[in-house]
Amino acid sequence: MSKKNKSDQFFAEAKRHLVGGVNSPVRAYKAVGGTPLFIQKASGPYVYDVDGNKYIDFVGSWGPMILGHSAPAVINAVKKSLLNGTSFGAPTPAETELAVLIKEAFPSIDLLRFTNSGTEATMTALRIARAVTRRDRTVKFEGGYHGHSDGLLVAAGSGATTFGVPSSAGVPEVLARNTWVLPYNDVSALKDIFRTQGPNIAAVIVEPVAGNMGVVEPSMEFLTTLRELTIKHGAILIFDEVMTGFRVAWGGAQERASISADLTCLGKIIGGGFPVGAVGGRKDLMEQLSPLGPVYQAGTLSGNPIAMSAGLAALQTLKRTKPYKALETLTKQLVAQLRSDAAKENVAVQINSVGSMFTLFFTESPVTSYFEALQSDASQYAAFFHTCLKNGVTMPPSQFEAAFVSTAHTPAVLGKAAAVFRKAFKGVHAK
């Protein structure tokens, strides 16, 4: 059993200076209660808190850490790059190298622009879509999270869900009104909106495997209908692969579904643990961006050389080692174990997984949409979460987040985690 004295002290101090003691809301543990761990360091599948406790980590920095923490290839690349300086505000060869690798993985991408976050990438993708279509309206899906820009903070998942705020305060109503929100996986709602509003829709933005309402897989029919309708009505199809890019396959969810997006947003893994996002896609669309076209977008630290070197090392390692099949197999085995242990403890749980992402929903019915995700018993998740934490396993501190398996999670490590999960199921009913 771990002690958290120092984390508690650091959190108390942090709250005096940082809003809620954190710089991104879900980190504050509001959804599960208690105080967050303050982290000292991380290596492979483990994070170590400031009290010296070691945890098997399934948060993975919320997605980037597919190679585990402190992956040697990434650390070495960063060390080397650091000695040349940290930022120049001028182009470097590494930006092109990373772009070439990303294009190899995503055949739908002709041209790219790097940003500093996923939020910037989705915001820019929408602006491009509005510019080329000369339309203002966008369609998104309930529980889909696309960063925190105004027009996209409508019925967003994860953080927003956790706090029970369907859309953020401070978002102008006119912008929210330009965003139509449909249930995920709902083909008939999709057909309806295009039948009635087709000529007004600039873009549809979608997580092509949802991760921010917890993991929810799209039906093939949902994705193919999306592709057909957007083509038919001249709307831009934006795949937000900030989480799924290089995670569910080398070529992301679009590789798994064999569907080409018009624009793709990336982030997380492509930065190797540094702040990197990207928007990429068809040449005629991307050429709308400044300096070639009329759509303005910029960034003082965009394409930062350290961040590029980290992303390059990560993607080169993924390309060389092709871990995706093995990761998916290990994750499936873990999930099968979890299901059978939950059944033994009479815990009603749905475990959704795609590739190396998984989520436990404490509900009796399958979860294919945000509405169904919301039927989960969040207090059971909180109990599960805290037993895990006390026994050395970090899960996402919210029911509506994905857990991640990395290449550093060996079968032995996953076996240890499974034993903790078994114990945590026992605690779910205890009050």
Ligand X SMILES: *Cc1c(COP(=O)(O)O)cnc(C)c1O
Residues that bind ligand X (CB under 6 A): 117-119, 122, 145-147, 207, 211-212, 240, 242-243, 267, 277
Q: Which is nearer to ligand X, 207 or 372 (CB)?
A: 207
Question: Contact 122/154 with Cβ under 8 angstroms?
Answer: no
Question: Contact 314/71 with Cβ under 8 angstroms?
Answer: yes
Q: Which is nearer to ligand X, 25 or 293 (CB)?
A: 25
Q: Cα–Cα distance between 388 and 203 in angstroms, integer?
A: 41
310: exposed, middle or buried (C-beta count within 10 Å: 0-12, 13-18, 19+)? Answer: buried
Q: Cα–Cα distance between 425 and 431 in angstroms, integer?
A: 13
Q: How many CA atoms lie within 13 A of 208 on its CB side?
A: 35
Q: Cα–Cα distance between 406 and 71 in angstroms, integer?
A: 11
Question: Contact 155/167 with Cβ under 8 angstroms?
Answer: yes
Beta carbon of residue 207, minimum distance to ligand X (angstroms, whole number): 5
Q: Cα–Cα distance between 237 and 193 in angstroms, integer?
A: 15
145 annotated active-site: yes
55 annotated active-site: no
Beta carbon of residue 298, minimum distance to ligand X (angstroms, whole number): 17
Beta carbon of residue 369, minimum distance to ligand X (angstroms, whole number): 16
Q: Which is nearer to ligand X, 63 or 427 (CB)?
A: 63
Kind of pairing between the strands at 350-354 and 357-361 = antiparallel
Q: Cα–Cα distance between 285 and 133 in angstroms, integer?
A: 10
Q: Which is nearer to ligand X, 281 or 427 (CB)?
A: 281
Beta carbon of residue 63, minimum distance to ligand X (angstroms, whole number): 6
Nearest to 398 by CA among 36, 20, 117, 69: 36
Beta carbon of residue 354, minimum distance to ligand X (angstroms, whole number): 13
Tokens 């709902």 -> residue: 186
Beta carbon of residue 24, minimum distance to ligand X (angstroms, whole number): 7
268, 341, 370, 377: which is the annotated catalytic residue? Answer: 268
Q: In the numeric block, which tokens belong to residue 336? A: 């099968």
240 annotated active-site: yes
Question: Contact 271/304 with Cβ under 8 angstroms?
Answer: no
C-beta nearest to ligand X: residue = 118
Q: Which is nearer to ligand X, 216 or 413 (CB)?
A: 216
Q: Which is nearer to ligand X, 208 or 427 (CB)?
A: 208
Nearest to 70 by CA among 100, 96, 39, 93: 39
**How large is the C-alpha radius of gyration of the chain?**
21
Q: In the numeric block, which tokens belong to residue 70? A: 């402190």
46, 55, 145, 370: which is the annotated catalytic residue? Answer: 145
How far apart, in Å, are the Cα atoms of 60 and each of 154, 276, 407? 26, 16, 11
Strands, E assignment, 44-110: 46-49, 54-57
Question: Contact 55/49 with Cβ under 8 angstroms?
Answer: yes
Specify which residues 42 forms β-bridges with. 47
Beta carbon of residue 187, minimum distance to ligand X (angstroms, whole number): 21
Beta carbon of residue 191, minimum distance to ligand X (angstroms, whole number): 24
Q: Which is nearer to ligand X, 21 or 147 (CB)?
A: 147
Q: In the numeric block, which tokens belong to residue 294? A: 């009329």
Nearest to 75 by CA among 48, 99, 49, 44: 44
49, 57, 240, 341: which is the annotated catalytic residue? Answer: 240
Beta carbon of residue 267, minimum distance to ligand X (angstroms, whole number): 5
Q: Which is nearer to ligand X, 60 or 211 (CB)?
A: 211
Rounded to the nearest 5°, which phi and psi values hold at 61?
Answer: 55, 30
Active site positions, annotated = 145, 240, 268
